[in-house]
Amino acid sequence: MKRITILGSINVDVILEISRLPKPGETMPMKSLSTAGGGKGANQAIAAVRSGAATTFIGKVGDDAYGEKMLTILKENNIDTSSVIIKKGGQTGQAYILLQESGQNSIIINGGTNREITADDVIKAQNSIKNADFLIAQFEVDIERILEAFIIAHKNKVVTILNPAPAKDITDDLLKLTDLIVPNEIEAQMMTGIEITDENTAAEAAKILRERGVKNVIITLGSQGAYYLTENEDGLIPALKVNAIDTTAAGDTFIGALCSQLGNNLANIKEAIKYATKASSITVQTLGAIPSIPTIKQVNG
């Protein structure tokens, strides 16, 4: 069983179903409103554990109703929350998701306590990092905390996986500590300056990322699939054609599911991507983030 530790965000998703995005100055009704567990870190953790990995979470929530709700969800999914801190008076992260009829979404984030993870919090959680096969992080927590955690991971030969989302500037110091980076095409373009439209442009961007210090690259390309580049191989794994209802958490499902199947030396990366692609194709067929993430039985069924 893979041991995965995730340093990441914990949000409650507030989902507003709408026919389309409103124009500037326009007022329009929504079809419905619902809430669900979310946050890129929490989504990835649940995707990993539902695909058979032993998963530990490093994060922070407030002592509010949303924090209580999210801790309950994580524990119910058998995630080790011993490194999740409850901040007195803190506000748990929230995401407001504008979900269109097309299945596409636009998301507005209130980081809350996700942005209040400290260096001391990372140090206190170092055993959770040392005991893992993989450490995963995303950019809904501060980059400084990720860098500190990745340094601990490298000293202890733990494989580091970075999901650079939401897109932002990234230093080479962090890239050099990253064993595998998994951006989508927009995030990869921001880091490399290459407009990614197909396999060839994805390959160009992946080579630039390796030149900046990353050892292995997977660029997810939406309906086109996922391009990967390692020291030994590269290729494009095509996406599966499905009827997408809600794309929320598709990328997070891909990463969590991927890591549950990866070998520590990443030698089986092609097979792991195929598994992750199938998992994410199931996610987009159901409304919501955490409720839509499949189990290993559903993926292999």
- 52 and 296 in contact (C-beta within 8 Å)? yes
Residue 167, phi then psi, degrees to nearest 5: -60, 135
Say whether 252 is catalytic: yes
Residue 292 in marked binding region: yes
Nearest by Cα to 129 from 58, 48, 52 = 58
Degrees, nearest 5: CA angle 215-217-218: 160
Domain coordinates of the chain in residue numbers?
A: 3-9+39-67+78-88+117-300
Query: Using CA atoms, how far apart are residues 62 and 33, in angstroms rounded to an integer?
Result: 23
Residue 198 in marked binding region: no
Percent of the chain residues topping a pLDDT of 90:
85
> Full-prediction pTM beyond 0.85?
yes
> At 241, which amino acid appears?
K
Degrees, nearest 5: CA angle 232-238-241: 160
Degrees, nearest 5: CA angle 147-192-262: 55
Residue 40 in marked binding region: yes
Give residue-wise pLDDT tens across range 224-261: 999 999 999 999 999 999 988 877 789 999 999 999 99
Fold of 3-9+39-67+78-88+117-300: UDP-N-acetylmuramoyl-L-alanine:D-glutamate ligase (3.40.1190)
Give residue-wise pLDDT tens across range 14-70: 989 999 999 999 999 999 999 888 899 999 999 999 999 999 999 999 999 999 999
Residue 114 banded pLDDT, cuts 50, 70, 90: very high
Q: Pick the catalytic residue from 64, 80, 133, 252.
A: 252
- 188 and 219 in contact (C-beta within 8 Å)? yes
- 206 and 217 in contact (C-beta within 8 Å)? yes
Residues 207-243 as b/e (b if ≥16 CB within 10 A, e otherwise) read: ebbbebebbbbbbbbeebbbbbbbeeebebbebeeee
DSSP 8-state secondary structure symbol assigned to residue 63: S
Residue 56 in marked binding region: no
Give residue-wise pLDDT tens across range 174-209: 999 999 999 999 999 999 999 999 999 999 999 999
